[in-house]
Amino acid sequence: MITIKSSGEIELMRKANLIVRDTLDMLRDKIKVGMTTKQLDRLAHDYIVKQNAIPSFLGYSGYPASVCISINEEVVHGIPSERIIKEGDLVSIDCGSIYKGYNGDAARTFLMEGADEEKVQLAKVTEQSFFEGMKVLKAGARLGDLGHAIQSYAESFGYGVVRAMVGHGIGRDMHEDPEVPNYGVAGRGLRLKAGMTIAVEPMINAGTYDVEMLSDGWTIVTKDNRPSAHYENTVLITEDGVEILSL
Ligand code: MF3
Ligand code: CO
């Protein structure tokens, strides 16, 4: 079921998403070569709780941490651990919070000093692909218009747009209908309405779009072992465009 949010619900989603945004901004300041991913997870957890919100990932389908941290060839859902962040790493962090029953969800990709040109461009293009999608979004636009805008931009750089995972509606639940692919055909798919809230989250691979899951049951990696980047915001569809709630 696709829900249209009331102005009261939207206000709570603004708050949940600003907490997520601020958590990611805090992590951008704190992340350093030599830290473990678990240290970052702890910082995020404590920050979210301090804002009177709930870290939504913790315990979600049994997920054991408050953020997902995916490094280099890891696409999404990397589990924080004793792994040390190294020079040249590309680090994607995905974060969610629940505030008074409503969800926020966003992701950013950070580059450690010494990251090569391939990673620098991949992170930049992944972020820009999200904004290419925003250019076509408004009430009456179709999900295929959004997917096509993201896909055509990313593919113009020779990159692979991940197919196996997609964005999603969001609200009381982190994952609501509809599914929001980062690929598609313009003019096709669901017609969006004002008051819908969706998480748009391009996952873009330097090489091919094929991915596989590691034996931990969570971590998704590229099949060709080349790097992958992730960028996500929760957005509200309006009559004439979007309001990006987590920016
Ligand atoms: N936030 C992710 C998404 O964008 C999902 C995280 S899965 C979890 O859909 F298990 F870590 F919560
Ligand atoms: Co999401």
Q: 201 and 232 in contact (C-beta within 8 Å)?
A: yes
176 CB near ligand 1 (under 6 Å): no
User: Is the Cα torsion angle 14, 19, 23, 28 positive or negative in sign?
Assistant: positive
Per-residue model confidence (pLDDT) at position 91: 99
In whole numbers, what is the pLDDT of the chain averaged over residues? Answer: 98
Query: Which bound ligand lies closest to the C-alpha atom of 197?
Result: 2
Q: Is 71 helix (H, G, I), strand (E, B) or coil?
A: strand
Q: Is residue 93 helix, strand or coil? A: strand
In 3D space, the residue among 187, 131, 123, 184 whose CA is nearest the CA of residue 157 turns out to be 123
Band (pLDDT 50/70/90 cuts) for residue 241 is very high
Helix, strand and coil in the chain, % to nearest 5: 30, 30, 40
**Looking at the whole model, is its pTM more than 0.75?**
yes
Cβ 137 vs Cβ 242: under 8 Å: yes
Is any ligand 1 atom within 6 A of the Cβ of residue 201?
yes
What's the confidence (pLDDT) of residue 71?
99
Q: Both tokens of residue 108?
A: 């950013």
Name the phi and psi angles at 207, rounded to 5. Answer: -105, -130
> pLDDT tens, 58-98?
999 999 999 999 999 999 999 999 999 999 999 999 999 99
Instruction: Say how many residues make up the chain.
Output: 247
User: What structural domains and CATH numbers belong to the chain?
Assistant: 7-244 (3.90.230.10)
Task: Report whether the peptide linkage leading into residue 178 is cis, meaning its omega lies within 30 degrees of zero.
Answer: yes
Q: Is the CB of 9 under 6 A from ligand 1?
A: no
The pLDDT tens digits of the residues spanning 12-65 come to 999 999 999 999 999 999 999 999 999 999 999 999 999 999 999 999 999 999
- Cα distances from 3 to residues 57, 82, 169, 175, 220, in angstroms, run 22, 40, 8, 12, 29
Q: Is 2 exposed, middle or buried (0-12, 13-18, 19+ CB in 10 A)?
A: middle
Which atom belonging to ligand 1 lies closest to the Cα atom of 56? 12
Q: Is 94 in the pocket of ligand 1 (CB under 6 A)?
A: yes
Mutate to test the pocket of ligand 1, among 76, 200, 201 (most ligand atoms within 8 A of CB): 76
Percent of the residues in the chain that have a pLDDT greater than 70, as a whole number = 100
Nearest CA to ligand 1 atom 2: 94
* CB of 78 sitting under 6 A from ligand 1: no
Average pLDDT over residues 96-120: 98
